[in-house]
Homo-oligomer: A and B are copies of this chain.
Amino acid sequence: MTLDKYLEDRRGLIDAALEKVVPSEREYPETIHRAMRHSLFGGGKRIRPILTMAAAEAVEPRVNTVERAACALELVHTYSLIHDDLPALDNDDFRRGRPTCHKVFGEAMAILAGDALLTLAFQVLSDLDDVPGERRIRMVTELATGAGTVNGMIGGQVADLEAEGKQVDAAHLDYIHRSKTGALIRASVRIGAIYAAADRAQFEALSKYGTHIGLAFQIVDDILDVVGSTETLGKTAGKDAAQQKATFPALYGLEASRDQANLHLAEAVEALRPIGEPSVRLREIAGRIVTRSA
């Protein structure tokens, strides 16, 4: 199977699983479920849940129903987009090529829809009744840590907000990248590893992979915000410069940023060595993360 076919196939499994875990638009109170679904089914690439699936497959090629666990990552990612796009934060009108949640449903409903997706993510993990409680709890810990304030996603968002318009140094930018995007991507990989009952060596190899592709992902995101178009990205391009965000291209220039992304790609691929053949998809995905144009 080509990588594109693989990604399409996994996206299909994830979308079908999301369809099941998110209450339908006919379930009361309907508005909140419509708002959640508007943002969730707006055509995302599903990178995080695909990483969860590919990491589980790297540990146990015959793993199944991991897509239910993977949903939790997409729910958290989508909640973060909804809240990030609010007028009080990045104030963005477009996301994934459609109007943002608050543009369609109003700010109050967008805040609650984000809250609801975050809450549902933990419910999804706790509901995985084919996984022993001890492993489910480790997955909850990973998700909460990756999404939290100390070296997690919220911490990164705060550091990002506070860096706007300021001259930041390499250490500050590194914190933003590791936390804002890197932490949840790393958690995606680790949750897949836990799901498939990885042993210690596998878990450490996959964690290292997750750390490096998380960093590569954010560097490429920063680059695309400079060189991409709003149409291709499905979100407003050039926002970082307009908001004077702390980014890799702003601090190091485009070329050095591309070098950095490639360095992290190499480290990610190197980390997979002990796992060997079953990690081929993870290796391909790492490459795609760096070469993508959206």
Contacts and interface: CB of A to CB of B under 8 A. Distances in A.
A90 to B, nearest CB: 9
A64 interface: no
Contact of A116 (B111, B133, B135, B149): B149
Contact of A148 (B106, B107, B111, B116): B116
B149 A32 contact: yes
Interface string A66-98: 000000000000010001001011000000000
B149 A123 contact: no
A144 to B, nearest CB: 4
Interface secondary structure of A, over-half rule: helix
| Most B-side CB within 10 Å, residue of A31, A152, A158 | A158
Interface stretch (A22-30, A235-243, A276-284): A22-30
10 contacts: A29-B149, A29-B159, A79-B115, A83-B112, A112-B158, A119-B147, A119-B152, A120-B149, A123-B148, A140-B140
